[in-house]
Amino acid sequence: MSARTFILSLEGVCKTFEGFKAIHELNFYLDEGELRVIIGPNGAGKSTMLDLITGRARPDKGTVTFGRDTDLTTLNECEINQLGIGRKFQTPSVYSDHSVFENIWLSLEGRRGVLSTLFSRVRPADRDRVHEVLSTVGLSQVAHSKAGNLSHGQKQWLEIGMLIAQNPKVLLVDEPAAGMTDEETARTGELLMSLAGKHSIVVIEHDMVFVRQIARKVTVLHQGSVLCEGNVDEVQNNPRVVEVYLGRKKRGDS
Ligand code: ADP
Ligand code: MG
């Protein structure tokens, strides 16, 4: 074994649902500050892998480790989130009746929940931090709009902003470009690239244009295991990947 420390390590992980092997002997290592893209056909186990990292599901076997030695399999979802592992689900969930500013403010690291926040004033340091996050995700212009009135793409960026507001070490993002226009997709790619380094990021995505835009290293998941890893060209030219994923996708089967 090397002495290298990863921010996330999954080793020999298995997860079965009613006899179906959703994750099978999965090994996955994420470097600190890395932006990793995970692709794979529907049902490959991509979202389940995130469930196992975030404590939403428990592995039947194997280890899930954060940093050098924090065993995530013994912690619940809330504890894992508090360690600095944030997840963005596919469908955006924002407080529609609150402003964009308030949504970020409510999410700030160290806040005690919606009620205590709504009855308190915005501290100057918090205001600065909210504006910093809004600028990062490109929503400064709509800070005072109701979140419910944003476009689909803007809601996704707001939700990424709400995650960043918690200052997570690891960001797990499931299919951020789904339902976005090409322009929104490209902006999302730029945003994620700007966040890498400061955060370690795992992005699950289907859109190969988007994958090519952002990816340094791509992991292909198939039947709950890693089929191959490499840069976009290596992965796209790998005959097994073409067979199980890209080939089928060309025929419109993904
Ligand atoms: P992906 O995100 O790669 O499309 P998933 O991780 O969502 O794939 O699903 C992998 C497989 O595990 C699928 O066959 C799915 O039906 C199954 N699965 C996922 N979560 C559950 C669950 N909670 N109960 C039963 N089966 C599940
Ligand atoms: Mg999924």
Report how far ligand 1's centroid is from the alpha carbon of 52 (Å). Answer: 12
pTM: 0.91
- Nearest atom in ligand 1 to the alpha carbon of residue 48 is 6
Answer whether CATH 3.30.365.10 is correct for domain 8-253. Answer: no
42 lines ligand 1 (CB under 6 A): yes
Residue-wise pLDDT tens digits, 127-150: 999 999 999 999 999 999 999 999
Q: Where are the domains of the chain?
A: 8-253
Residue-wise pLDDT tens digits, 146-179: 999 999 999 999 999 999 999 999 999 999 998 9
CA-atom Rg of the chain in angstroms = 19
- For atom 6 of ligand 1, which residue has the closest CA? 45
**Strand residues in the chain grouped as ranges (E):** 8-17, 20-30, 35-39, 61-66, 70-71, 85-88, 170-174, 200-204, 217-222, 225-230
45 lines ligand 1 (CB under 6 A): yes
- Nearest atom in ligand 1 to the alpha carbon of residue 204 is 2
Report how far ligand 1's centroid is from the alpha carbon of 22 (Å). Answer: 6
Q: Can you state the angle between helices 152-164 and 124-136, rounded to 10 degrees? A: 130
Residue-wise pLDDT tens digits, 85-119: 999 877 778 899 999 999 999 888 766 566 666 66
